[in-house]
Structure formats: C-alpha cells, structure tokens
Copies of this chain bind each other. A is one copy, B any other.
Amino acid sequence: MAYNITSLTDLVAQFEKLPGIGKKTAQRLAFHILAQPPERAQKFANALVTAREKIHFCSCCQALTDTDICPVCADSERDHSTICVVEDPKDVLAFEKTREYRGLYHVLHGAFSPLDGVGPEQLKIKELMSRLSNTDVKELIMATNLTVEGEATASYISRLAKPLGIKVTRLAYGIPVGGDLEYADEKTLTRALEGRNEI
C-alpha cells in the first residue's frame, strides 16, 4: 500500500497547476499550508472564491473590477477625454502605479494573433468604438506592447479612430530610466534614436 494522502495530493496538484510552480515548489507550498492554523487555509480559500466570483470586466473600459463600473471610469475628477488603450488588465495596474496618468483606460484583452485565431472580433474593439462614438474622447493613447501583434493592433485601431477626428498617440519607446546603453537591445536603441527630442 503506497503512502498516498489523497487530500494532500489534491492540494499539491492544485498548486502545481499555477504558472511557474513546479512539483517541488507545489509540495513545499502545500506543506506550508498544513503547518498553518486552519483559519489561514480558510481565508485563502475564501479569497480565491470571492475574487473569482466578484471580479468581472468593467462594462465601460473592460478592466477588472468588483463594482459595476470600475473606480477609474466612475471617477468624475479624471480626464474623460483621454483613453489609454492597453492589451491586458495588468497594464492598468502598472499605469495606476505611476500616479501620473489621469485619463481613462480601455482593455483590449489581447492583441491580433492570426495563428491563434485572434482578430478584431475577439478583442474588445467594438466596445472601444462604441465609447468613441458616444462620449467626447479627444485622444487615444495606444499602449499596446511593442511586438508585431501589439503594433498591428495599434495601427488597426488608429485607422478606425482617426476619421472620427480623434488624436491617436503611441507611447514613447526608448531607453528605460536608469538603464544602461550598453544593455539596450538594438530595437530599443533604434526606437530611442527615432524618437529623439531637442534639448
């Protein structure tokens, strides 16, 4: 008879399904949970279920929220005439951390990827166009990733928005602040050259 504790095996398997967590780490995390008070496991379990149940896409900008409209869209003090278009909900958090951006967002939930069958229909582009026609938007900041997919998506949206008289901009790409020239890759360096400003 093998030494097999079903409930432990189950827990290890659940941890192992997480991205970047291997077998050994999964086991270590499971044993950590067993060594904690039962309330800890209960709290963790509640957080998992609550987050998954409550969090959905904002009906306006498609970012994650647990209220009907996300706090950014609901905030009347923010600049509702500027929309920053990003690929992923995580990107919104990254921008919010800067505490500099005061406009709104629109999350596409991906970028064009013909091989995976992702085209305009699979992204939240229809929702973006509806916002552009129904509200007074003056500027779209395209903040999709600097990949072939991200660039293609940005230029597609830009072609749709420009005829509506909306200014479309792209994030500046260049050397990261504090970064060393020596470690910058060719593409970043090329972009930094192209986007150079007079001082």
- Among B3, B38, B72, which residue has its beta carbon within 8 angstroms of that of A96? B3
* Residues of chain B contacted by A32 (CB below 8 angstroms): 18-19
- Among B4, B14, B70, which residue has its beta carbon within 8 angstroms of that of A44? B14
**A149 interface residue per 8 A CB criterion:** no
| Alpha-carbon separation in the docked complex, A188 to B66 (Å) | 51
Number of interface residues of A (CB under 8 A): 61
- B47 and A14 within 8 A (CB): yes
Chain A binding surface, main DSSP class: helix
Q: How far is the CB of A64 from chain B (nearest CB, A)?
A: 6
Interface string of A25-43 (1 = CB under 8 A from B): 1011111111010101111
* Residues of chain B contacted by A28 (CB below 8 angstroms): 19-20, 182
Given known pairs A8-B51, A71-B4, the reply for A27 and B64 (CB within 8 Å) is no
